[in-house]
Amino acid sequence: MRISLGFLVLALASSSYAIPNKGAYQVKEEVNVPRGWVKHAEAPADHTITLRIGLPQPNFNVLEKHLYEVSDPEHERYGSHLSKEEVEELIAPHSESLDAVNNWLSSHGLQETDLVRSPAKDWVTIRVPVAFAEKMLDTKYNVWKHTASGDTLVRTTSWSLPKELHQHVDVIQPTTMFGRLRSAKSTIVWGDDEAEARVAANAKTSVEASTGATISANGREVDASCDKVITIKCLQQLYNAVGYTPKKTTKSTIGIPGYLEEYANIQDLQSFFAEQRPDALNSTFKFIGIKGGENPQNLTLSGAEAALDVQFAFGLSYPIPGTYYQTASRPPFQPDVRTPTNTNEAYVDWLDFVLAQKDTPLTISTSYGDDEQTVPKSYAIRACAGFAQLGARGVSLMFSSGDYGVGDNNPDPATQECFTNDGKNTTRFIPVFPSSCPYVTSIGGTQGVPEVAVSRFGSGGGFSDYFPRPLYQFAAVQKYINALPKDHYKGLYNKAGRAFPDVAAQGDRYRIYLKGVPRSIGGTSASSPTFAGFVALLNDARLSAGKPPLGFLNPLLYSSVVERAGALNDITSGSNPGCGTPGFNATEGWDPVTGLGTPNFGKLKDIVLRGY
């Protein structure tokens, strides 16, 4: 970072916005330290952080209106998505906000060359030492340690701005963000090579030789082996996609964001293709690294999450082109080592990058998330608004709904901590973000043939404490709530909140290749790339017929068009226990375990090929 040598001259010359004294500052945001975090040390004064300053988007309500109109199959504008430039024009801040923030930054000696602006100028990014950030925000940064994992972050619990600047800044991070980005996977691990070889041999037998057929909930015959091992063939049979061959493979595209140094190994992908998708053998994906993200091909570094995502998303949608993103995230901070950056808001780093691109994959699946309450509401709202921008541009976004039911993603029910972070420690179900964002499609998990809600780890689901219930799901969700016993789980969830998941797919016993060895893996991390694979095929069908891509899916999925056609397989058995409760039940219609159900590709294809 370069601070101007003319700092004092600049400060005195800025008559419109001189450096405010400390008394002029007022607290803009304050949070309680989430459970599990303890103050570890003072942050070194010269530790560098990258501050992202979010300016208001005064016309976002107009963008939202466009989003819902172009995503509603019964609206005359269905499919008339906006361009990148049209979206940016709608989210641009007012000139007054730009001037106010520019003057504030200038008053601290920052020049235009020290700033990085988003294309719409609604974000300004600066890299500054901790001591400098503390002065700008009238705050104190510390090193905080997560007692269970050992993770460390440089954060503060409150920050301030001059009073007159409050209306011109929505959010500044990293400040109060204590979220711990995690994947929604649950892996079966074997303790020794002999046991591993035994399981692999048994799984291979199941894959290669079916012992008969069973009937799925939609009345289709499915190989009996699919009750034990999930493969590409099983998913095609279960979801009525056998025999479909993509045609517009230069237009329909699919993308997978990766985080937490999860590397997608091409050798593992080839082993998977050789076994389950031989026509895809020797094909691969495009790799894009963000913020220094890499994808080394040392087989020992192959990541389970990455393997699951790319093998099934790209295997189901082949030969549709696939892209794998790796965003460098959460570099470890050690107080005695001067690391150049320290942030764990990786999905927003990815979002910034993608929004700046002219062309993006039309279908994107993400298998990561945070406990909603560990993400400051101001930041969650801005990230969610970014997802809305992609939807308005014609991109279908899917997120895993999380694992371990209504709890805090802790696999041990006895130690789940289901408490609020508002200082009151009230018992509460824990929603998952970004799945709780109303502008994305949240994917829950099922298992077995016929399908029931996944039981080994529990499908995440519930109701947002940040976002109100959107109109597109109001009737379906209200029907579920009305059927609950009076005062059912009173106070444990927000009945008026955005409900999730929206839909579901198989979520356990997936057969992947990892580090050269076949393994079984599960989680809603499997459900999301699976559903996305079928969405990529639906996009291909529409593009082949000269129609625009699907874009934001939820208004379509909740529409009477889909309901009348029975294009989603309703799951009515199972639950998602957590927080010392049985959780919610799967039932007829929408439920906070499996949503509206699993896809019937054939029926969905017929719907999206109509005259919309």
- Catalytic machinery residues: 305, 309, 525
The residue to which tokens 């959010």 are assigned: 171
- The one-character DSSP state at 431 is -
Sign of CA pseudo-dihedral 277, 283, 288, 289: positive
Separation CA 26–CA 465 (nearest Å): 26
Of 208, 212, 14, 226, the residue nearest 108 (C-alpha): 14
Contact 239, 601 (CB under 8 A): yes
Separation CA 162–CA 19 (nearest Å): 9
Would you put residue 394 in left (φ > 0), alpha (ψ -120 to 50) or beta?
A: left
Dump strand ranges (E) for 132-266: 142-146, 152-155, 158-162, 171-173, 182-183, 186-187, 213-215, 221-223, 254-258
| β-pairing verdict for 123-129 and 116-117 | antiparallel
The residue to which tokens 């501050």 are assigned: 51
3-class DSSP state of 525:
helix
Q: How large is the greatest C-alpha to C-alpha distance in the chain, in angstroms?
A: 83
Residue list for the binding site: 570-571, 589, 591
Question: For residue 518, what is the enclosing H or E element?
Answer: strand 517-522
Supply φ then ψ for residue 452, to 5 degrees.
Answer: -135, 170
Range list of H helices, 345-411: 346-355, 377-392
Residue list for the binding site for Ca(2+): 570-571, 589, 591
Q: And the tokens for 487?
A: 């005062």
Rounded to the nearest 5 percent, the helix, strand and coil shares of the chain are 35, 25, 45
Would you put residue 306 in left (φ > 0), alpha (ψ -120 to 50) or beta?
A: alpha
β-bridge partners, 153: 144
Separation CA 122–CA 88 (nearest Å): 9
Separation CA 129–CA 518 (nearest Å): 46
The amino acid at 267: Q
Separation CA 92–CA 54 (nearest Å): 11
